[in-house]
C-alpha cells in the first residue's frame, strides 16, 4: 500500500464505470478516502465493497450532478462524513456523436449538462473545502483534475458538440488554475485519447458502426492507464502542479 494520500479525502465523479472506477480504486490504493459519485448506485456499492475488501475506505454517493442541488448535496455529504475534502476528480461525462445537420438537440443538451454544467456544479460546491484543505498542514495543497479529452484539443466531423464541451473544459480549467493556484489549489486538465470504456456504448448502432469503420487505433488505453495519470497529477510534491496532461495510446496517430 502506497501512502502518498493517507488522510486525504477525494471525490471521483462518474465512478460507476470506466476511468472513474479505475481512478477511485487507484486513489484508495494511495491511501485516500474516496467518495464515488454517479447515478448507478448498485455499481457504486460494488466498487465500495471492492475498495474496502482491499483495505481502503470509500463511500457511495448517488447523485445526478447535472442537477445543481444534487451536486451540492453530494459534496456536503462527503464533507459531513469525513470532515474535509482534498481532491476533486471531475470525470463524469457523455459522448454522443453525429452530424450537426438533423441532430437530436436533446443529445447536445445532455452532453452540455454533464460535461460542463456537472463539472461546474461540483467545482463550485467543492472549492471552499479544497481551499481550506490546502491551508492545513496535511499536504499543504489540494487538487482539482478535470477530465477533458483529445477532443478538447482536436475536432473531427461528428464530434462537434462533444468537442465544444471538452474545449470549454480546457479554458475553464486554466482560468480557475490562475485564480486559485497561489492558494495552493492545483487545477489541472487531463486529455485522454481512446480508452476502452462504456463511453461509446451510449451511441446508436449506426454511429458505432461508423466509428468501427474509420477507427485506426489497434491498441487503446485501459482505464487503469488514465488512473495512473490522475494519480501522478495528485501525488506531486506540493510545489509542483501538472496543469495539463495529454495521455494517448501509442498506436493512436
Asked if residue 46 binds ligand NDP (CB under 6 A), the reply is no
Q: Which residue in the set 31, 56, 192, 249 belongs to the binding site for ligand NDP (CB under 6 A)?
A: 192
Angle at 139 between CA 144 and CA 22, to 5 degrees: 45
Binding mask 203-232 for ligand NDP (x = CB under 6 A): ------------------------------
Asked if residue 145 binds ligand NDP (CB under 6 A), the reply is no
Minimum CB separation of residue 64 from ligand NDP in Å reads 4
Residue closest to 141 by CA, chosen among 233, 59, 229: 233
Please answer whether residues 136 and 86 qualify as being in contact, where contact means their C-beta atoms are separated by less than 8 angstroms: no
Minimum CB separation of residue 217 from ligand NDP in Å reads 9
Asked if residue 188 binds ligand NDP (CB under 6 A), the reply is no
Asked if residue 40 binds ligand NDP (CB under 6 A), the reply is yes
Minimum CB separation of residue 4 from ligand NDP in Å reads 23
Task: Order the strands of the 33-38 sheet from edge to edge.
Answer: 57-62, 33-38, 9-13, 87-90, 142-147, 185-192, 244-247
* Cα gap 9→25, rounded to integer Å: 13
Asked if residue 114 binds ligand NDP (CB under 6 A), the reply is yes
Please answer whether residues 7 and 85 qualify as being in contact, where contact means their C-beta atoms are separated by less than 8 angstroms: no
Grid cell 497529477 in the structure block, residue: 233
Asked if residue 66 binds ligand NDP (CB under 6 A), the reply is yes
Q: Which of 16, 126, 162, 233 is catalytic?
A: 162
Nearer to ligand NDP, 137 or 212 (CB): 212
Asked if residue 197 binds ligand NDP (CB under 6 A), the reply is yes
Residue closest to 176 by CA, chosen among 146, 135, 139: 146
Which helix H or strand E contains 246, and what residues bound it?
A: strand 244-247
Minimum CB separation of residue 147 from ligand NDP in Å reads 5
**Residue 232 bears catalytic tag:** no
* Cα gap 200→221, rounded to integer Å: 14
Q: Which residue in the set 10, 18, 126, 142 belongs to the binding site for ligand NDP (CB under 6 A)?
A: 18
Please answer whether residues 15 and 36 qualify as being in contact, where contact means their C-beta atoms are separated by less than 8 angstroms: yes
Query: Which residues are catalytic, by number?
Result: 162
Note the residues at the interface with ligand NDP (CB under 6 A).
Answer: 13-20, 38-40, 64-66, 91-95, 114, 118, 147, 149, 192, 194-195, 197-199
Amino acid at each position: 500500500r502506497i501512502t502518498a494520500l493517507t488522510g486525504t479525502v477525494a471525490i471521483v465523479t462518474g465512478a460507476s464505470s470506466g476511468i472513474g472506477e479505475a481512478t477511485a480504486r487507484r486513489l484508495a490504493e494511495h491511501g485516500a478516502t474516496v467518495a464515488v459519485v454517479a447515478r448507478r448506485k448498485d455499481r457504486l456499492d460494488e466498487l465500495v465493497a471492492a475498495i474496502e475488501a482491499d483495505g481502503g475506505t470509500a463511500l457511495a454517493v448517488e447523485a445526478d450532478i447535472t442537477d445543481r442541488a444534487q451536486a451540492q448535496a453530494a459534496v456536503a455529504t462527503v464533507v459531513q462524513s469525513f470532515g474535509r475534502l482534498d481532491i476533486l476528480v471531475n470525470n463524469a461525462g457523455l459522448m454522443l456523436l453525429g452530424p450537426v445537420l438533423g441532430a437530436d438537440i436533446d443529445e447536445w443538451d445532455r452532453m452540455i449538462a454533464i460535461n460542463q454544467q456537472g463539472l461546474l456544479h461540483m467545482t463550485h460546491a467543492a472549492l471552499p473545502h479544497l481551499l481550506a484543505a490546502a491551508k492545513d498542514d496535511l499536504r499543504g495543497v489540494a487538487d482539482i483534475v478535470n477530465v477533458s479529452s483529445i477532443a478538447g484539443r482536436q475536432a473531427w466531423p461528428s464530434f462537434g458538440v462533444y468537442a465544444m464541451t471538452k474545449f470549454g473544459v480546457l479554458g475553464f480549467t486554466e482560468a480557475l488554475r490562475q485564480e486559485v493556484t497561489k492558494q495552493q489549489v492545483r487545477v489541472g486538465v487531463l486529455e485522454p485519447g481512446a480508452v476502452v470504456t462504456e463511453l461509446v456504448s451510449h451511441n446508436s448502432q449506426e454511429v458505432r458502426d461508423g466509428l468501427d469503420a474509420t477507427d485506426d487505433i489497434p491498441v487503446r488505453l485501459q482505464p487503469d492507464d488514465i488512473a495512473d495519470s490522475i494519480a501522478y497529477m495528485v501525488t506531486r510534491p506540493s510545489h509542483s502542479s501538472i496543469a495539463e496532461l495529454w495521455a494517448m495510446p501509442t498506436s493512436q496517430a
